[in-house]
Structure 1
Amino acid sequence: MKVLIAGTGFAGQGHVEAFRAAGAEIAGIVGRTPEVVAQVAEKMGIPYAGTDWQVALSDCQPDIVSIATPGGAHFAPITQAIAHGCHVFCDKPMTDSGETAATLYQLAQQKGVKTAYAASFRYTPSVLHAKQLVADGAIGDPTEVECMSHFNLERGIPFGWSHRKADGGGRLNNNFTHTLSIVSSVVGDRILGIIGDVRDDMGRAPIVEGVHNFATRRDFMPKDLDDPSLKWGKSDVEWSYTVLAKLESPFAAQPVSVLFKHGGLVPRFHEDHIVFYGTHGAIYIKGHYGSGQLYLWGKDKTWNALALPDEIVASVPDVAGETEQCWHYLACEFVRDIQGQPVEPYPTFRQGSQYQQIIDLIRKTDRWTDVSDLA
């Protein structure tokens, strides 16, 4: 299987390694800046480097394209790749709007190509363990879930795609997509209802030249944010959100209630966590994406730390970094599916399209009931 990569930063280079580990050949890589894409291609041993996506599709003739650029730059290259007959692996967010995401889903369906949507933290070992425990009835019928995270991100992070809606920025696109995928994978993926509120706590961010890699953006933060010579860019996306959802579960007679609470700019006091509650017990996982220790509240009415089952330990890709492990897991599943091998259901453009439309609805924040005049 030949793969063409779009994007030269942290995600692009991570996708290269993930597909190589899945047994695929990296045919080429495309980026915006000739010098940067040439350097990355040389460093990673990729035979083709270019800046024109359409030309690269013709030159490389890939079976798969992997989209690792900011979400606002996804629509055109994915449309071109689908028209070329390529299977598509796309990092989240799928696009910058529900409308364009739905269009891509429909195009992929019409063309008959396979798609993967990398809301991929559902593949952390403890989340896989929680999924197994819930399916085995360890907590009875699941009743509710809470996902709590506080990132305390620095206000001096240079202005970039994460601050702009048109580029796929915002915490819903880049945090909620993962937690919604996690909850859906554990309790059931039929989302019945959603309501939420968002807040832009950031307002503005300093404009700094030279940032090419999202993973190293902190290295470019100004030392003095009060420097009068600084130029500023305006944020137009949310940095905090509160979302309530109802999910249908094959393991419960009633819909499961879910709370998603994220504060991008506020400090945490206790551990970030994900908790699955049920009629007979509960599962607590440390970490905002459930990548820490798992605890089970069972018949003895105490929290007990559980070791990972051997089969889950064996399934974890041998690579450093939680993000990288999850990319590897999903890329392997995707390649195996394309090759006709049996795989478990994984997130596709169906989920990506649905999540993007849900994010649009949450951002409207128009479902408040005015009680200011009540006695």
Structure 2
Amino acid sequence: MPPAPRAIVVGTGFGCRIHVPALRAAGFEVAGLVGTDPDRTRRRADAVAIADIFTDLSEAIGRTGAVAVTIATPPATHAALALTAIERGCHILCEKPMAADLAEARAMLAAAEQAGVTHLIGNEFRWAPDRAMIGRAIANGLIGDPRYVTLSSVLPIVADPAARMPRWWFDAGAGGGWLGAHGSHLVDQLRVWLGEVDSLSATLPTVSDRPADAAEDSYVVRFRMKNGAQGVLQHSAGVWGPSENISRVAGTHGTLWVDKGVVKIADRDGVRDLPVDADLHLPPVEADDPRKAAMLFELAPFIRLCEALRAGVEGRPMPDDVPVPTFHDGVAAMALLDAIRRSAAQDGALVTLS
């Protein structure tokens, strides 16, 4: 058998929790961990059995001979790291949101395209079975022409200002805020299901008891798609009490929604479950520590994303069970995030996308 391709992980938080085990499950050798603090990086590398640590990505690539780099650092650092990896000829998987702004994202895409390397974005939830089945059902015409969309959620995860979260989440200068941390997944989901957004109006409120200069913990977006569908993205991570989620798409012939992870469809024939297609089942994963069980919902789809990265590294066709998220998708998502921020800065003014 040929040797496993070597990968470098940049980022010692989510990078160690999800990137490292997902890369290994996909058949990579994780050859090094890059962080900013040598002592912390050493501790976290030891915890996940990575031998070599670095504080400089270019050095890490040169010393390990890595052919792939995954980036799990604050958004404002993504562009510089990605460009370094691309210049060294590495295939790349970058976390979302792709960059600090649209201009940086476009520069990353242009460099990756010119270098001819595989370029993927960390939208692993494209492989979440319920989301993938809704997208497939819409594409197959099960609800006719989509007309109305509701994606709404309330979560208590940052309702308490003392809650421990990545520092960048509430640092606007680092690309933080709930819109980037979470909304980047939702705008990607919306595009996969329904295509491109035509126009939107948005606000970025802070619900929890945080300083006025903290980045937002909530977002409300009213949108119209280019295909005519309309809807609302409304999410807050700062709401005390139990979590609640609504994911619903209504069309001319029926409605799709998710109920406790099960996709439902209602039409003239009544209400029924929509079984997950066999090719959308995720690989089984287990936590070696009960405290890590909560991360499993991210790990399984991330393995699929890393499998796509390995296919690109080895020059094989990409998997086609779901559309693989590339830097093209990252740029499109950044255009939406920038438009949402422009609208919010103008008290919800209507913004039309090109």
Equivalent position amino acid for 2:210 in 1: R
Instruction: Report if aligned partners of 2:224, 2:231 keep a CA contact under 8 Å in 1.
Output: yes
SS in 1 for 2:201: strand
| TM-score, structure 1 as length reference | 0.81
SS in 1 for 2:144: coil
- 1:240 paired with 2:228, answer no
Aligned to 2:9: 5
Deviations 1:73-119 (A, max 9, x none): 22221111111111110111212222222221222122222211112
Equivalent position amino acid for 1:341 in 2: R
Tell me how far 1:72 sits from its aligned partner: 2.0
Q: 2:316 aligns with which of 337, 341, 344?
A: 341
SS in 2 for 1:246: strand
- 1:273 paired with 2:275, answer no
Instruction: Report if aligned partners of 2:149, 2:250 keep a CA contact under 8 Å in 1.
Output: yes
Deviations 1:304-347 (A, max 9, x none): 2333233323xx02125111112111111222133232223311
- 1:330 paired with 2:330, answer no
Q: Distance in 2 between matches of 1:357 and 1:309?
A: 32
| TM-score, structure 2 as length reference | 0.85
Aligned to 1:173: 180
Equivalent position amino acid for 1:318 in 2: P
SS in 2 for 1:116: strand
Q: Distance in 2 between matches of 1:235 and 1:293?
A: 39
Instruction: Report if aligned partners of 1:200, 1:235 keep a CA contact under 8 Å in 2.
Output: no
- 1:311 paired with 2:315, answer no
SS in 2 for 1:65: strand
Instruction: Report if aligned partners of 2:188, 2:333 keep a CA contact under 8 Å in 1.
Output: no
Equivalent position amino acid for 1:87 in 2: H
Equivalent position amino acid for 1:22 in 2: A
Q: 1:350 aligns with which of 321, 328, 340?
A: 328
Runs of 4+ that moved beyond 6 A: none
SS in 2 for 1:199: coil
Aligned to 2:338: 360
User: What is the aligned-residue identity percentage?
Assistant: 27
SS in 2 for 1:8: coil
Tell me how far 1:354 sits from its aligned partner: 2.4
Q: 1:148 aligns with which of 133, 140, 152?
A: 152
SS in 2 for 1:337: helix
Matches within 5 A, 1:82-161: 82-152=86-156, 153=158, 154-158=160-164, 160-161=167-168
Q: Distance in 2 between matches of 1:124 and 1:360?
A: 26
Q: Distance in 2 between matches of 1:258 and 1:59?
A: 50
SS in 1 for 2:244: coil
Aligned to 1:81: 85
Deviations 1:50-78 (A, max 9, x none): 22222112112211100011212222211
Aligned to 2:293: none
- 1:196 paired with 2:202, answer yes
Q: Distance in 1 between matches of 2:277 and 2:114?
A: 40
Aligned to 2:264: 295
Aligned to 1:231: none
Change (3 A) 1:351 1:52: same
Q: Distance in 2 between matches of 1:239 and 1:43?
A: 31
SS in 2 for 1:284: strand
Change (3 A) 1:46 1:270: closer
Aligned length in residues: 329
Equivalent position amino acid for 1:110 in 2: Q
Change (3 A) 1:236 1:363: farther
Change (3 A) 1:196 1:369: closer
Aligned to 1:213: none
Change (3 A) 1:270 1:14: closer
Deviations 1:103-140 (A, max 9, x none): 21222122222211112212111112112222222111
Tell me how far 1:268 sits from its aligned partner: 6.4
Equivalent position amino acid for 1:43 in 2: A
Deviations 1:180-201 (A, max 9, x none): 112222233x333333121133
Equivalent position amino acid for 1:187 in 2: L
Equivalent position amino acid for 1:258 in 2: G
